[in-house]
Chain A
Amino acid sequence: MIETFAALAEPNRFRIVELLRAGPRPVGEIGAHLELRQPQVSKHLKVLKSAGLVDVEARAQQRLYGLRPEPLVALAAWLERYRSLWDARFDALDELPEELKGEDENEGRDA
């Protein structure tokens, strides 16, 4: 999980992941599309690969880098757990009885 966050935290790596959502691409195309030099792209792809976010497939004579969904799915699940904890709290907060809303205004003031 932390690896996924760390990999995505760098802006160019995030842009690479966004680009690859539309489908796998070779290194040269990634660089051209994002206006990054190839060594930079390769360095970022190495980090993304190590975090399990991208995979390489050989197609014809090209190496294509594509997204692996598993880390993003795990990330989404983690986010949803935290979100639904707050959702449950807010549901309970929503249900505080109506009569509490009618309390004297002065009782709410702090010194």
Chain B
Amino acid sequence: MKAGTREAPVGDTAMELVGDQDIIIARAFRAPARLIYEAWTKPEFVRRWWAPKSHGVELAECTADVRVGGEYRYLMRRGEDEYGFRGTYQELTPHTKLVYTQIFEPFPDAAVLVTVTLAEVGGLTHLVSHERYPSPEARAGALEAGMEHGMRETMDQLDALLASLT
């Protein structure tokens, strides 16, 4: 699976390691590209999906200045632990492409370059997120620190969120 391919699955997430520094993540959504683009950038939407409660994290801070050169910061909190992600937008093409850096704050020297592309075809939006890590070690190690806890899925919190919004 290469970036830009239209093979992203619906309802399930495909992931692939490419070379020794890249990770590609893909999924297709039954929603217009505009909605996915906005959900990816507007803090009021990011809050609703970026820190899954099933992973025991909440977003303590979520800010974004969505323009080229603008910065964003998402601060995740789990109990007494806090860890943040921040970065700068480098390219923004509504609603088909975003390019931004992503720094996991415990490892400030390992900025990742993320390129997100959205391709809307027949009611489906195919999203591909291409993460380019600064080194093989960064790819292997930098993200492990944030994912020590269990990864079991629960949909209960999502059901509750839906119920509260409708």
B107-146 Cβ-contact flags toward A at 8 Å (1 or 0): 0000000000000000000000100000011011101100
User: In the assembled complex, which residues on chain A have CB atoms less than 8 Å from the CB atom of B139?
Assistant: 5
Contacts of B165 in A (CB 8 A): 97
Asked if B15 and A82 sit within 8 Å, CB to CB, the answer is yes
Residue in A closest to B137 when the chains form the complex, CB atoms = A2
Q: A27 → chain B, closest Cβ, in Å?
A: 25
Which of A86, A96, A108 is in CB contact (< 8 Å) with B13? A86
Known contacts A6-B136, A91-B153; is A83 also within 8 Å of B29 by CB?
A: no
Is the CB–CB distance between A108 and B94 below 8 Å? yes
Give the Cβ gap from A93 to chain B, nearest Cβ, in Å.
4
Q: How large is the interface on A (under 10, 10 to 19, 20 to 34, 35 or more residues)?
A: 20 to 34
Contacts of B19 in A (CB 8 A): 9
Contact with B along A63-78 (1 / 0, CB 8 A): 0000000000000001
Interface centre among A2, A9, A90, A108 (most CB of B within 10 A): A90
**Chain B proximity of A32: nearest CB distance (Å):** 27
- Quick one: which of B20-40 are within 8 Å of A by CB? 20, 23, 25, 27, 29-32, 34-39
Q: Chain A residues near B27 (CB, 8 Å)? A: 86-87, 90
Are the CB atoms of B55 and A96 closer together than 8 Å?
no
Q: Known: A2-B137, A81-B151. Is A88-B54 also a contact (CB below 8 A)?
A: yes
- Cβ–Cβ < 8 Å partners of A83 in chain B: 13, 15, 25
**Binary flags per residue of B29-64, CB closer than 8 Å to A gives 1, else 0:** 111101111110000010011101011000000000
Report whether B161 and A95 are in contact in the complex, using a CB–CB cutoff of 8 Å.
yes
Chain A interface secondary structure, helix, strand, loop or mixed?
helix
Q: Which of A82, A85, A101 contacts B35 (CB 8 A)?
A: A101
A-B pairs, top 10 by smallest CB distance, nearest first, are A92-B49, A88-B52, A87-B13, A9-B20, A83-B15, A93-B49, A2-B140, A84-B151, A5-B140, A90-B27
Chain B contact residues, CB within 8 Å of chain A? 11-13, 15, 17, 19-20, 23, 25, 27, 29-32, 34-39, 45, 48-50, 52, 54-55, 66-67, 92, 94-95, 129, 136-137, 139-141, 143-144, 147, 151, 153, 155, 158, 161-162, 165-166
18 intermolecular pairs with C-beta atoms under 8 Å apart:
A2-B136, A2-B140, A5-B136, A5-B137, A79-B17, A82-B143, A83-B15, A87-B13, A89-B49, A91-B52, A92-B158, A94-B11, A96-B39, A96-B45, A96-B48, A96-B49, A105-B34, A110-B67
